[in-house]
Amino acid sequence: MRLRALAKINLGLDVLRKREDGYHEVRMVMQTIRMYDQLELKRSSRAGIRLQTNRPYLPTGDGNLVYRAAQLLMEEFQVKDGLDIRLEKFIPVAAGMAGGSSDAAAAMVGVNRIFHLGLSQEELMERGVKIGADVPYCILRGTALAEGIGEKLTPLPPMPDCWILIGKPGISVSTRFVYGNLKANELEEHPDMDGLLQGLQAGDLKSMCVSMGNVLETVTIPAYPVIRQIKEQMLQAGAIQALMSGSGPTVFGIFDDYTKAKEACFRLRRGRLAKQVFLTTPYNKGGGTNDK
């Protein structure tokens, strides 16, 4: 069984407060894009989970979310057979694009299917939050409002058609560092999340873009100025809006003109600001992590 694990970007990310339990209460608009890792799952008569990847620096035991996601379901349902998993990584790692969470989501969908566990999408999402806050969304996919710590999801009208330029500089950013340095209860400015939602409801790309924002940029950009430089380059090349995704460092630019998007992609690849550059589109059709 081969499954695609799709990446996400944040069209809007606001942090409302830091809770007493240490978690941050967020309000985010998540969007799946057509960039993906691939998982291959094979049922085995040999008990246990065996995970291989094309990235030698990734763990292949319970330090990997794919392993933990498969283990969670197989232990709950007392699966006696074994599972061989091959993970082909293409989504940038530690990039604010939920690559690990999406891989875990695909693993849960795959285990559910290959062992005929009979779980619904909602039941998978309930279990997914035990692996990570983004995993339920990565099972749902599409355009969605995420609230709470990210686990309360409301599907939204699809993002209007456009081209999305992805640029990741050659650095990794720790999510713990970003949230640890965010003074969530002292923030004076917040993204216009209501305006963003209204733009989506109206199917108006430009209106949506005007309201986009990411409060985590207040921490990440001062620490890594290259993020601002990539944003500025995308805007100068004709992007309607450019924003950091998640806690960074990936930047995405939204274009309504393919020629401008293609030229901007060429310029970004030719320059030295971004190490990984992709041009893609939103993923809005379907909705299951098993989409081929």
CB-CB contact of 280 with 34 (8 Å): yes
Give the strand pairing for 143-148 and 163-168. unpaired
CB-CB contact of 98 with 59 (8 Å): no
Report residue 13 as tokens. Answer: 């990310």
Q: Is 8 a catalytic residue?
A: yes
Answer whether the bond into residue 249 is a cis peptide, omega within 30°. yes
Of 156, 126, 158, nearest in space to 139 by CA = 126
Residues placed in the known binding site for ATP: 92-102
Q: Which of 8, 37, 103, 231 is catalytic?
A: 8
Contacts of residue 10, Cβ cutoff 8 Å, sequence gap at least 6: 28, 29, 30, 31, 96, 214, 243, 245, 246
Q: Is 80 a catalytic residue?
A: no
Main-chain phi, psi angles of 133, to 5 degrees: -65, -30
Q: Which residues are catalytic?
A: 8, 134
